Structure 1
Amino acid sequence: MAHDTPSTSARSTVRPSRRSIIGLLAAVPLAGAGILVASEDADANADARTAAAEGTARGDTRADRDTRSPGPIPAGLRPGGELDRFVANLAARDEFSGTLLITRRGRTVLSRAYGMADRRRDVPITPDTLFALASVTKLFTAVAVAQLVQRGRLSYASTVGTYLDGLPAEIADHVTLHHLLTHTSGLGNHQQAPGFEEAAATWTTADQVMDGTLDFIRRMPLSFAPGAANLYSNSGYHLLGTIVARVCGRSWFDYARERIFRPAGMADTDFVTAPRWRRDPGIAHPYVKQPSGERVDDVAGRVFIGTPAGDAFSTASDMDRFARALLRDKLLAPPFTRTLLGGKLPLGLPTSGPPPKDPSPTGPSPTGPADPPPGGGDPRPQAMFQCYGPIGAVLADRWTFGHGSGAPGESTGIEMFPHGEWVIVVLSNYDQDTVRPVVGMARRLVAVAG
């Protein structure tokens, strides 16, 4: 059984380490880089001025938003309440290892940490532990695309061939950025391509990961005509990140650090290399459950670095900062935030039975459980939509936006409620769907709170 280490104090009294991010990846050398960077900086300043001006027009200052009373907190969400006891019980049975953070309007409601980041070295998980995010990383990619649409550098309606060469005509000429963002491109998951795992095991640089993955995608046929169906696609989001890099003339990793993590105040978030993952005690190792029930450390089998489709690394508090930065229009001007969060494609609502399984290593988990979570009373979504990145659900007549994902030894979930500005973050180093019942119960309690 894992050694459980619950955080017994409120998260607001625990300050993240704010470790300075070490540049593990060299910037891609570019001709005329000074001009490109100057242009990007000017764009960033213009974005900030636009967002500030629109916020002022709403009579809305940052001070107003940060100091509002969080309002009444349901007993079930407080320390010692229903959710707290439920997670503690899961951890005691070795069914949960990770961190939980719930905030309202930036104030901590509940923060807990259980389990071990590295069992061999006896390193416990703390609120500052970094976790692989799996496909929750796609939220950053969607924001990056929206930022460039806002600046006129990209168009949602443009085809992939407008920005990338070397792709077959059926992709280059017919798949649009809209298709990629909504998983309606017809592309699938390159991890399932013959030879991918063997090739990925040999990659030792970020460029090899990005370019090698792109080479596999170039050889993938479409499963259906773009727009004709919905198929979750890691390949589509890799293409989106590659387009961001090509248009901006810098690496995807540098763009994410400079234009998303830094403005959101996510000082501990980064794309971590496999060698650092193995040696850094502040990063949770992935523990994969075997048929025998034993959990085995699988960090040695990981790809050199994550991609725009999955495996950035973050803490619960940094993901809370990201959610609030997005909801408060700090990353995008308000119309583009609304565009990103707007429902694009209706999704079916499961009514019973176990949650659907996605075969991809970083495939999604729906943001809500198929069956009511423990405690009952889960208000079922009245409607669900694929947005540009997250899944949006109408729950108790209010919008909530989230993304759940997982892989062997990785399970993550984030849920954002614009009404009341609730944020739920659950990160785990156990297998896919570990966080599902925790997010489900937390979402029920928040929905009841209103």
Structure 2
Amino acid sequence: MLGLIGASGAVLATGALAGAASAATPGDLRAFDQFLRDQGFSGSYLFVHRGRTVAAGSYGRANDAALNGPDTRFAMASVTKLFTAVAIAQLAQARKIGYGDKLGAFLSGFPAGIAETVTVHHLLTHTSGLGDVFTMPGYLAEALSWTSVDQVMNGTTDYIRRATLGFPPGAGFEYSNAGYHLLGMIVARVSGQSYYDYVREQVFRPAGMTSTDFYLRPQWHADPRIAHPYAVQPSGEYLDSIDRRLYVGTPAGDAFSTCADMARFARALQGSTLLDAAFTPLTLGGKVPLGPPTTGPAPAVPPVAFQCYGPMKTLANHQWVTGHSGGAPGTSTDFQMYLDSDWVSVILSNRDFGAGGVPPWPAKARELITA
């Protein structure tokens, strides 16, 4: 039994560089593979350029029964918000939702000061003032006891109904898991389907994401294809933390996917498979300027970054990089699209960096791709 993974980090490689760096490859992507080895990386990564796999690798254990490999399904944490944002954009494209529509037009039970002021735009851009449901008193302790999809969706919504705004909508920016949960509830209300069924049918299926889904916690325990999340302990060891995660993921986090499926998602999103030629740039365009990161070391030069309708957009070495990262106990994920140069990077790890810790590999990948 694997109950514990040593922090010193001997990792088992199940794959290495999938394609040699060509003359068209910026930077030395072999250096990235070695960088991950040196870091004791556990997970999978994939770099795609113009639809061609340039580099890929998998290291470490997925669970007691399997090593990580290219087909391993990882919990995506907050990268899941991109699927929710696309679902909202599809309904806006169909003229069933307006970005200026008020929350109270779709969901009942909120105080008038929230129902009549918070808009879909605010929820998408983390400017609603609703904040993070996971930090609401009592939420996580109760949520971990839930054992049905309805309990997770409705129980989470009930906690958010009792929340107060941290600032007037539009007057500030605070990353909001609560806001994205409500967006998923709006998808269900407007579409007449469960949030999960809508995303499966209208996002995963047309994008060809055959290995992507929302799995229940018992499935996470039992299915060897799904990577267990190993959270770092004060001792430096890594311990399986499935039971610190919800019974099912929400519109704010924890769909499960593979590197290859995320590359398919990028192609479908950029190629107008999921949205038309008007709503794709609307969704991927910057809406709210962002300040320096609140975790990790302060950058020498302040970033040029924007919150979009779902993704975040950052200027890196004169290239716009659009995507999302995610973190939770035992999970570190990063998905980026380099729209000008047609690169996609996907890095999925079933280890975390502790509370407030920032994994170094997304920055390294960005450095090499934009070199």
**Structure 1 residues 221 and 11: CA distance shift in structure 2, 3 A:** farther
Equivalent in the alignment of 2:305? 384
Find the aligned partners of 1:267 and 1:434 in 2 and give their Cα distance: 32
Percent identity over paired residues: 51
Equivalent in the alignment of 1:32? none
SS of 2:360's equivalent in the other structure is helix
Which residue of 53, 56, 63 maps to 1:108? 53
**Rg bigger for which structure?**
1
Which residue of 36, 42, 48 maps to 1:97? 42
Which residue of 143, 165, 170 maps to 2:86? 143
Q: Is the 8 A contact 2:272 2:280 kept in 1?
A: yes
Find the aligned partners of 1:201 and 1:441 in 2 and give their Cα distance: 35
Number of residue equivalences: 360
Per-residue deviation at 1:197?
Answer: 2.1
The letter of the residue matching 2:360 is P
Find the aligned partners of 2:315 and 2:124 in 1 and give their Cα distance: 20
Q: Is the 8 A contact 1:97 1:429 kept in 2?
A: yes
Equivalent in the alignment of 1:83? 32
Q: Is the 8 A contact 2:292 2:299 kept in 1?
A: no
Deviations 1:309-341 (A, max 9, x none): 000000011111111111111110011010011
Q: Is the 8 A contact 1:426 1:435 kept in 2?
A: no
Q: Is the 8 A contact 1:11 1:111 kept in 2?
A: yes
TM-score scaled by length of structure 2: 0.92
Find the aligned partners of 1:345 and 1:191 in 2 and give their Cα distance: 24
The letter of the residue matching 1:261 is F
The letter of the residue matching 2:38 is N
Equivalent in the alignment of 1:341? 284
The letter of the residue matching 1:335 is A
> Counterparts of 1:344-363 in structure 2 under 5 Å?
344-349=287-292, 356=295
Per-residue deviation at 1:397?
Answer: 2.9
Which residue of 186, 194, 212 maps to 1:251? 194
Corresponding position: 1:439 with 2:370: no
Q: Is the 8 A contact 2:231 2:329 kept in 1?
A: yes
SS of 2:346's equivalent in the other structure is strand
SS of 1:288's equivalent in the other structure is strand
Equivalent in the alignment of 2:70? 127
SS of 1:116's equivalent in the other structure is coil
Q: Is the 8 A contact 2:27 2:368 kept in 1?
A: no
SS of 2:236's equivalent in the other structure is coil
Find the aligned partners of 2:49 and 2:10 in 1 and give their Cα distance: 30
The letter of the residue matching 1:88 is R
Runs of 4+ aligned residues of structure 1 deviating over 6 Å after TM superposition are: none
Corresponding position: 1:286 with 2:207: no
Deviations 1:178-216 (A, max 9, x none): 000110001011122222123212311111110010010
SS of 1:317's equivalent in the other structure is helix
CA-based RMSD: 2.0
TM-score scaled by length of structure 1: 0.76
Equivalent in the alignment of 1:4? 12
Q: Is the 8 A contact 2:11 2:42 kept in 1?
A: no
Equivalent in the alignment of 1:366? none
Find the aligned partners of 2:43 and 2:361 in 1 and give their Cα distance: 11
**Structure 1 residues 382 and 302: CA distance shift in structure 2, 3 A:** closer
The letter of the residue matching 1:383 is V
Which residue of 223, 232, 249 maps to 2:175? 232
**Structure 1 residues 221 and 441: CA distance shift in structure 2, 3 A:** same
Unaligned runs of 5+ in 2: 1-8
Corresponding position: 1:393 with 2:314: yes
Per-residue deviation at 1:8?
Answer: 3.3
Deviations 1:79-123 (A, max 9, x none): xx22121112112xxxx21111000111111100000011xx242
Per-residue deviation at 1:420?
Answer: 2.2
Per-residue deviation at 1:370?
Answer: 5.0
Per-residue deviation at 1:446?
Answer: 1.3
SS of 2:321's equivalent in the other structure is strand
